[in-house]
Amino acid sequence: MLETSKDLEILQNLKKGDEKAYKELFDLYYIPLCIYSLKYCDCYDVAEDIVQDLFIKFWNEKLYLKIDNTISPYLFKAVKNNSLQFQKSNPHTDEINDYVYKVIEGDEEEIDMESLETEKEKLYQEIEKLPEKSREIFKAIVLDNLKYKEVANQFDISVNTVKTQYSRALSKLRESLDIIVLLLIVS
């Protein structure tokens, strides 16, 4: 909760009718909220839409007038609810979904830009350590969100090879997951 005082200041200024505070609020929380939304909806466009709609509503309906303490818990909660609503429930997977939310909520720490940047660097370092082929395939699948088949076409290899390489990358990264988590706590 590093940003508490900034957050409170913004709220005070918004209530005073200071419009610059609205831009400050956007600068402070837009990216963290998008990242947070992605945890639940797993779609870039949807995440940004949800957060943008919230910012528009926040201003148009003067929602800040109803907030007494810090703004961030309100924003994060709203984003989570809306992102979960989007998550079209697949009746087959409801039970696993419950389990999944427990997993992703496990790391429910406050998201701020500074820790996002640190995390980004560490994670990229881990990717760079992967063997070249699995690295490229991992990037295509996770970072570019391509389907196995698209990746297979692009690299001119079989779908099974894609799967094998992708699994290798994941299990390597899994080995370093503890290190990543540890590093983030220390840093």
Contacts to another protein by CB under 8 A: 19-20, 22-23, 26-27, 30-31, 34-35, 38-39, 42, 44-45, 47-48, 51-52, 55-56, 59-60, 88, 90, 92-93, 95-96, 99-100, 103-104, 106-107, 116, 119-120, 123-124, 127, 138-148, 150, 154, 163-164, 166-168, 170-171, 173-174, 177, 180
The pairs formed by 22-26 with CB atoms below 8 angstroms and a separation of 24 or more are: 22/59, 25/55, 25/58, 25/71, 26/55
Comparing CB distances to another protein, the nearer of 7 and 28 is 28
Comparing CB distances to another protein, the nearer of 66 and 174 is 174
CA 44 to chain CA centroid, nearest Å? 9
Nearest approach, Cβ of residue 2 and another protein (Å):
18
What tokens were used for 146? 């391509």
CA distance 92 to 96: 9
**Dihedral, 141, 147, 149, 154 alpha carbons, nearest 10:** -50
Comparing CB distances to another protein, the nearer of 70 and 154 is 154
Comparing CB distances to another protein, the nearer of 52 and 70 is 52
Nearest approach, Cβ of residue 116 and another protein (Å):
6
Comparing CB distances to another protein, the nearer of 55 and 74 is 55
Comparing CB distances to another protein, the nearer of 9 and 42 is 42
Report CA-CA distances (Å) from 176 to 123, 131, 149, 170, 185: 10, 14, 28, 10, 14
Nearest approach, Cβ of residue 177 and another protein (Å):
6
* Residues 6 or more apart whose Cβ sits within 8 Å of residue 112: 2, 3, 32
CA distance 74 to 78: 6
Q: 38 in helix, strand or coil?
A: helix
Nearest approach, Cβ of residue 78 and another protein (Å):
15
